[in-house]
Amino acid sequence: MPAVDPSRLNFQIADLMSSFHAPEEFHQKIRDLFSLYANRTLRQGAMTDSTPLMPAFHLPEPVFRQLRSELAPATSAEPNSALKLADTLWQDENFEVRQIAVLLLGHVGPSNPEPILSRLNNWLSPDLDPVLKEFILQSGTQHLQSSFPAQWEAWIGSLLSQKEPAWIALGLAGLRASLGASTPQNLPAVFRMVSPFIRDPQPDLMNALRRLVKALAAQSPTETAYFLKQTLSLSSSSGTERLVRQSLPIFSDEIQIDLKTALKLD
């Protein structure tokens, strides 16, 4: 892996961007660029939860950051070209190339949500690489959330209405991912959508629910604690009590006392 020289990288990305309207050419150029900067020496011990399981170049952050900054304005200015490019890049087997496809989808600004929704439905599935799934939910839905909030909520609702827990878990992960870019005004919608699953938690969804509660508490611990207390009063499921007990450590001592009272713990 060569050292990242900023002036050289700028030249390389400028050459790449000259092919923005030629998807196949862009695809070949980006593979060549990523191969040049690839870290081929990543060892098993260096892998973390954020390391993809699918083939990856393991690029240095400056390369990805610079490319991302160049793609955003081009994508906003020419959404149709960006969508065609995203479709081509998504066919690649490598993580970072697919990441670029997701970034294009997140920045594209069509006048209606259908082009975004159709790709989300085609790209996202429970068996997709876990890191790529998270990236789609965080970065690929940005424009959908900001410009078409009702359609985004309906899309999340369609995931939550599935029968298979793996698909429902995707919906819960989508709610969690939205909290990172949302304002507290969106919390009531999240509480409303997750409420049925916390009132009667399925064992297969406990981990996804714990992660969502943690994200909610990080944004608004007081409102989240109130929501959990209300849910406890409405639920007869031991799973709800278990979920709240397991979530206690993420709250302050004062809120923990309040929740323990609701749980009838000493």
The mean pLDDT of 27-40, rounded to a whole number, is 93
Burial class (CB in 10 A: 0-12, 13-18, 19+), 159: buried
Say whether both 28 and 67 belong to one domain.
Answer: yes
Same domain? 177 vs 107: no
**Residues 136 and 170 both lie in one domain:** no
- The answer to whether position 155 is within a domain reads no
Q: Which of 2-6, 165-169, 232-236 has the lowest mean pLDDT?
A: 2-6
Tokens of 112: 């209606």
The predicted-structure confidence for 196-237, as pLDDT tens digits, reads as follows 999 999 999 999 999 999 999 999 999 999 999 999 999 889
Q: Which of 115, 147, 179 is the last residue of a domain?
A: 147
Q: CB 156: neighbour CB atoms within 10 A?
A: 24
Cα 155 → chain centroid:
14
Task: List the domain range (segments joined by +) for residue 42.
Answer: 1-147
Asked which of 97, 120, 147 is the last residue of a domain, the reply is: 147
Q: Are residues 256 and 182 in the same domain?
A: yes
Q: 119 and 176 share a domain?
A: no
Residues 143 and 228 in one domain: no
Residue among 141, 139, 206, 140 at smallest CA distance from 168: 206
Do 133 and 237 sit in the same domain of this protein? Answer: no
Say what the pTM is: 0.90
Examine residue 154 and state whether it is found in any structural domain, yes or no: no
Classify residue 59: in a domain, yes or no: yes
My answer on whether 139 and 165 are in the same domain is no
Q: What percent of the chain has pLDDT over 90?
A: 80
Shared domain check, 50 and 102? yes
Final residue belonging to a domain, choices 147, 180, 196? 147
Tell me if 6 is assigned to some domain.
yes
Mean model confidence pLDDT for the chain:
91
pLDDT band at 45 (very low <50, low <70, confident <90, very high): very low
| pLDDT higher than threshold 60 for residue 173 | yes
Q: Domain for residue 100, yes or no? A: yes
Judge if 253 and 228 occupy the same domain. Answer: yes
> pLDDT category, 146, cuts 50, 70, 90?
confident
Q: Are residues 164 and 141 in the same domain?
A: no
Q: Is 37 inside a domain boundary?
A: yes
Number of domains comprising the chain: 2
The mean pLDDT of 49-73, rounded to a whole number, is 89
Residues contacting residue 253 through CB under 8 Å, at least 6 positions apart: none
pLDDT at 5: 87
Predicted confidence (pLDDT) at residue 68 exceeds the cutoff of 80: yes
Overall average pLDDT of the 236-262 stretch: 94
Do 108 and 3 belong to one domain?
yes
